Amino acid sequence: MNIGFFRLAASALLASAAGASIAQPAAYPSRPINVVVAFPPGAPNDIIVRLVAEPFNAAMKQPLIADNRAGAGGNLAAEWVARSPADGYTVLATIDTVVTINPRLYKKLTFRADTDLRPVIYLANTAQTLVCNPAVPVKTVAEFVAYAKTHDLDYASGGQGTPGHLSAELFIAATGVKMNHVPYKGPGPATQDVIAGQVPCGFLATPVVMPHVKSGKLNALGVTSTKRVPIAPEVPTIAESGVAGYEAAFGEMLLVPKGTPDAVVKHLNEMIGKILQQPEVRDRMLASDLEFVPNTVDEAAARLRRETQKWGAVIDRLGLQLD
């Protein structure tokens, strides 16, 4: 080979390297990340975002900015994110029902959360708690069922199609009681009205209601999960209270617009996952009954598919539709 060949080869390698460096994206994140929270302040997803924000800023030198856009069972926030640039700087924090359930419940949506968004990470497992104002003369699930069968009873939830609504519908189907649904724009406002006696009872997020149970402002009758929650081990599950086979558990998660680069999604998953495993963050999460189980992007997607199949069957069986 002559020297000209080696010069040409060297030039080609340099050009290739230069092209590769030009093609590489800027370090992520290089500016603030807007986290659109699908429910009002005080909801579990809002709690998690605000817990993560400070350590994220310390580690990444960029802030997470919480942007609460509550309404329509999470659909308002989901649509906003679905129509945002797919660059990793607009992220949705929500309960997984926005993807697993809402596309079946709301037939007239102008977007599809299950196809227009992609999962990043499951942030926490969470459940609902059946609570009542102390003025309601019930202390157990069995007493509640008997009371509901002889009284015109309303119950509050965090909104149409939310975990509280679905938990209640499962309960109604399993027990045969009749209750009137009073939806709110999140579990926080609903909880306040149950405390005030505007609505006698509610199926509401455990992290939101439990401080009020501890203070005596609400009575907790049962949790919707398969096991008792660490922050209130004295409260039985609804299943062990006599409603055999009852279970309604959910997951808080982050999603981004479809088309967000794989590398960005993976990096965001790893960054958030590391923060959620920091001892101080983990302990504060558990104190709010929010348990993080490490999961990759692929594992989050697989779980979302399983939950979609599970709740789809429930929606079809109950014949629920909201528009």
Burial label for 225, CB within 10 Å (0-12, 13-18, 19+), is: buried
Whether 123 contacts 157, CB under 8 Å = no
Whether 237 contacts 158, CB under 8 Å = no
pLDDT value for 132? 98
pLDDT value for 184? 94
- CATH fold label, 33-125+250-318: D-Maltodextrin-Binding Protein; domain 2 (3.40.190)
The fourth-level CATH superfamily of domain 127-223 is Periplasmic binding protein-like II (3.40.190.10)
Question: pLDDT tens digit string along 207-225?
Answer: 999 999 999 999 999 999 9
Residue ranges in the chain modelled with pLDDT below 50: 1-25
Strand 117-132 to strand 153-157: parallel, antiparallel, or no bridges (unpaired)? Answer: unpaired
pLDDT value for 49? 97
pLDDT value for 26? 64
Supply 234's token pair.
């004295």
Residues of each domain in the chain carrying CATH 3.40.190.150: 33-125+250-318
E strand segments, 96-213? 117-132, 153-157, 179-183, 201-205
Supply 244's token pair.
């055999």
Residues of each domain in the chain carrying CATH 3.40.190.10: 127-223
Measure the N-to-C terminal CA separation of the chain; round to a whole number of Å.
Answer: 75
pTM, two decimal places: 0.83
Q: How far is CA 7 from CA 15, 18, 200, in A?
A: 12, 16, 83
